[in-house]
Amino acid sequence: MDYRIERDSMGEMRVPADRYWGAQTQRSYQNFRIGGELMPREITHAFGILKKAAAIANHRVRPDRMDDRRLAAISAACDEVISGALNDHFPLVVWQTGSGTQSNMNANEVIANRGNEIAGEKLLHPNDHVNMSQSSNDTFPTAMHIAAVIAIEDSLMPEARRFIDTLKRLEAENAGVVKSGRTHLQDATPIAFSQEISGWRGMVEKPLEMLEAALPQLKQLALGGTAVGTGLNAPAGFDAEVARAVSELTGKAFVTAPNKFHALTAKDELVFAHGAMKALAANMMKIANDVRWLASGPRCGLGEIRIPENEPGSSIMPGKVNPTQCEAMTMVAVQVIANDVAVGMAASQGNFELNVFMPVLIYNFLQSARLLADGIRSFNDNCVRGITADREKMAHNLHNSLMLVTALNPYIGYDNAAKTAKLAFAENISLKEACVKLGFLTPERFDEVFHPEQMI
């Protein structure tokens, strides 16, 4: 492999000749051979956005130092970072310094070297120009917020809304279909299948409302706080200008954080937003479990709905088909719920003016957003969209449910209704037969008051 020599404040480093990163990235690459979890690409791309925005802001507030040529070179290089064209030049793992300093320098070095190549001359220094008016301590939190907002607004929310649309269609298709309700895995009073589906819909809509409530806080950016929140070496107005530039580049309404000391040391906005994702994951676990219970069988389970048959379910049992999309969705939910522990723990750490668990926090946060978006899409497209109700089985189960006896409470009282249900179960007879046998109602009166379909 061919190498070139790069220099930083600590001396010289050999860097692969075909890579744009510099000495500081190389040091981190060599010193942190831990795991294989790369810094999320969402963070890499967010750095492209914020570095371009910082150059634009510097050009506005200190054009003497960020002239037109340097702005053009940085912007061109950042566009390639944002597009993913330079992903291979960001090799660092999550397990590095807790402030993300090395990933910030990775961005600075790649943008400087690629920008100089584009300009055809050495215009840019990683620290003096690409990192102008910034510190790793305010850029990494800013990248976290940019990446989090994009992941939620552009990936997770659209998939959740598509899923809601599917549930709305299923509600309309199953209007008037009455089935047995169930609580504690035991028979309960009747419910319309459309009502049951509406419960699922609400379990997606509510967490989306929570995510919406989290977004304004995530759209506050730490950039401009520099090292400890004081804004040292950042010119007046830079923070507001850089937030305006980020907004222009993303089409999202970012603002500068009003308290930079809080923005550097606390990560509560991310904890709050991830809590909403955990709520969604918990509800998706419930929905997926409901679907696979209702589809259980095909002959020895509930069998009240049918789901798409996507692949063979067994290497030994011919013809077996399993609820694989439900299983995938529930595994995603387990991972997201587990990630919430890491996010909360990471947010509680770091001393004084800086949180130093930021890489692991955002790694877990973005994994949750990515898994939920992908998992909901797959569950929706490959399972829920194809759900059909077995109306005959629903009607059979409904009319065999002993809990229909609840309809008799106003006429024979709770205790007598309980006696009726117990006799029907013990002698394997109908509720009508039991009620008449016990002398509580005549057959004619029973038929007058007993209408399961009206119990919803």
d(CA 367, CA 363): 6
Known catalytic residue: 103? no
Q: Is 428 exposed, middle or buried (0-12, 13-18, 19+ CB in 10 A)?
A: exposed
* DSSP classification of residue 311: S
The full DSSP string for 161-198 is HHHHHHHHHHHHHTTT-EEEEEETTEEEEEEEHHHHHH
* DSSP classification of residue 99: T
Residues linked to residue 220 through DSSP beta bridges, in sequence order: 255
Buried b (16+ CB within 10 A) or exposed e, 236-246: eebbebbbbbb
Known catalytic residue: 314? yes
- Which residues, 6 or more positions from 120, have their beta carbon under 8 angstroms from its beta carbon? none
Q: How many residues does the chain have?
A: 456
- 47 neighbors 104 (Cβ within 8 angstroms): yes
* DSSP classification of residue 9: T
d(CA 192, CA 444): 27
Residue tagged active-site, from 184, 348, 378, 399? 184
Residue tagged active-site, from 314, 348, 399, 430? 314
- 289 neighbors 326 (Cβ within 8 angstroms): yes
Q: Is 345 exposed, middle or buried (0-12, 13-18, 19+ CB in 10 A)?
A: middle
Buried b (16+ CB within 10 A) or exposed e, 183-202: eeeebebbbbbbbbbbebbe
d(CA 99, CA 183): 48
Here the tokens at position 205 are 């809509």
Here the tokens at position 94 are 């999550």
Cα distances (angstroms) measured from residue 19 to each of 3, 5, 423: 9, 12, 80
d(CA 453, CA 456): 7
Catalytic residues: 184, 314
